[in-house]
Chains A and B, each alone.
Chain A
Amino acid sequence: MIYVGCDVGSLSGEAVIIEDNAIVVHEIIRVRPRPEQTALEVTQKALTKAKMSFDDIDYCVSTGYGREKIPFAQSSISEISCHGRGAQWANPSVRTIIDIGGQDAKVIKVDKFGYMVDFVMNDKCAAGTGRFLEGMAKVLGVELEDLAALSSGAASPVSLTKTCTVLSQFEVLYMLNDGIDRTNIAAGINRAMAERVSKLAKRVGIREGVAITGGVAKNFAVVKSLSEVLGLEFVSLGEVDPQIVGALGAALFAKERAEREYEKGGIEVKGVNKKRGNG
């Protein structure tokens, strides 16, 4: 059986295809102007990579802020639940997920089955989200991906006095004007990001077994700072790309829903009776 999870976020869209409880392929693209466009493109890309077509999909669950606008998904589930589910599948010891996305940050607590029990989120202010790092990278004149590398070996990271992304951008601009070393500024930026997220985490409380997901999890300097600020080591998600955890969770929910609906025999699930592999 082929299950697809599609996560349409604010800055990127991800699709994950699973079969027999294993990831077949995943894809990540930058968002298009409309959520349905993003979903279609990223899913098509993943299907092509897996040498499949839309007809092969048995059940698809969409998630992310654009989740309700995806025409080919049978149902949609909040990204909070999906991140919990995806991370717990990748590493069963996970009990807390810190998800830092493009336009929000969430801290999600899950039970041993990966079901969400509590969460806290910031989607009101760009500080502590991907947008903060994006704005800072722009001022420093580097690509977002290079911000972590730039900060390596900083002797004395600067401290940013403002929380606001816009005001911090100006603060950095003044620092550059004053000739302060870019390495130390980059390190200060990553540190500020970590401190902001840790405040959010402390609001909901941390339960051992903490994983970090979302695009910002790929910035190793932020991850390292955050681990220092929180005083803990993050658990590994193994081979799973931290940016696809939401989509992965959606795919796992797709599997669960398809199986449940098939058992009930009530609603006809598209293609569920179709023979494919050991399906």
Chain B
Amino acid sequence: MFYLGCDVGSMTTKTVILGNKDVVAYDIAANNGNLTKVVETSVNKVVSKAGVSLADIDVKGGTGMGEQYIPFDHSKEGIIKCLAVAVYWIHPHTRTVVDIGGLSTSVISINGHGKVLEYRTSDKCASGSGFFLKLAAQALELKVEDLGNIIIPCGERAHMGTQCAVFGESEIVSHINDGEEPEKIAAGINYSLGSSVATMINRLGGIQDIVATGGVAKNKGVLRAIEEILGMEVITLSSIDEQLVGALGAALCAQQRMQQG
């Protein structure tokens, strides 16, 4: 039996195929151009990687803010539930899920059975989002992946005075013009993003284990900043790419629905 999950996010589309126990194939595609096409291409890729055809997969789940662009019949589930279900499925000790995506950050508190107790999403403003990191990396002429590897002690980081992603970009340019070292600026950016996420975690109680998901969870600098502020460990799931958790959740939720009839 195969289960398909598709998470159409703000910046990327993630598709996974789940076999009886594990993810057997996946794809992460940038949302460039026509979204329906992006989703279609991503799904076709995954299906052929898994060596099956779309018609063979009878359980399909969709989630994410662009879920309506999925061009085939599927069962729909909210992203919060998908994240909670998938993280709990992999790591049952999880009590807090922190998902830092392209345009929004969500903190979800779950109980010992993986049920969502409470959650907060910052989706009004792009500060503290992956998109801000992308802008910042561009301004620093760094790859966004490399931005996360820059971890330096506090006191040496450049100060970021603004929360706004747009103004942040200008502030980075001013730092560069003032002759500040790119490493210090990068560390300042990671810390600034980490501190806004840490505030959200604190508001929801910050119960361990805390698991980070989403594209920004690949940025170690941000995760270390959150840990430094909270004084708690933030873990990532080693068995799955951080970006795929929502899509996996969509597949698991669809599976649960089917089993419940």
Binding site for B on A (CB under 8 A): 10, 33-34, 103, 123-126, 131-132, 135, 162-167, 170, 174, 177
Contact = CB atoms under 8 A, between A and B. Distances in A.
24 contacts: A33-B177, A34-B177, A103-B170, A123-B167, A124-B162, A125-B125, A125-B164, A131-B167, A162-B124, A163-B125, A164-B165, A165-B126, A165-B166, A166-B126, A166-B131, A166-B132, A166-B165, A166-B166, A167-B103, A167-B123, A170-B10, A170-B103, A174-B35, A177-B35
Contacts, number: 50
Contact of A131 (B10, B34, B166): B166
A126 B166 contact: yes
B125 A167 contact: yes
Nearest to B129: A166
B196 interface: no
Contacts of A165: 126, 164-166
A166 B103 contact: yes
Nearest to A131: B166
B75 interface: no
B111 interface: no
Contacts of A33: 177
A131 B170 CA distance: 10
Interface residues on B, range: 20 to 34
A170 B66 CA distance: 12
A160 to B, nearest CB: 13
B163 interface: yes
Contacts of A177: 33-35
Contacts of A126: 164-167
B39 to A, nearest CB: 12
Contact of B164 (A10, A34, A124, A170): A124
Given A126-B164, A170-B10, A164 B124 contact: yes
Nearest 3 CB-CB pairs, A to B?
A: A166-B126, A126-B166, A164-B125
A167 B103 CA distance: 7
Interface string B25-65: 00000000111000000000000000000000000000000
A165 B166 CA distance: 7
Nearest to B125: A164
A123 to B, nearest CB: 8
B4 to A, nearest CB: 24
A193 to B, nearest CB: 14
B104 to A, nearest CB: 9
A103 B163 CA distance: 14
Given A124-B163, A126-B165, A166-B132, 12 more contacts: A103-B167, A124-B162, A124-B164, A124-B167, A126-B164, A163-B124, A164-B125, A165-B126, A167-B124, A170-B10, A170-B103, A177-B34
B37 to A, nearest CB: 10
A125 B124 CA distance: 12
Contacts of A123: 167
A5 B131 CA distance: 39
Contacts of B126: 164-167
Nearest to A32: B177
Contacts of B131: 166
A135 B126 CA distance: 14
A184 to B, nearest CB: 20
Interface string B96-135: 0000000100000000000000000001111001011000
Interface string B133-177: 000000000000000000000000000001111110010000001
Contacts of B166: 126, 131-132, 135, 165-166
Of B103, B123, B132, B164, most A-chain CB atoms within 10 Å? B164
A164 B125 CA distance: 5
Nearest to A173: B31
B9 to A, nearest CB: 11
Contacts of A162: 124
Contacts of A131: 166-167
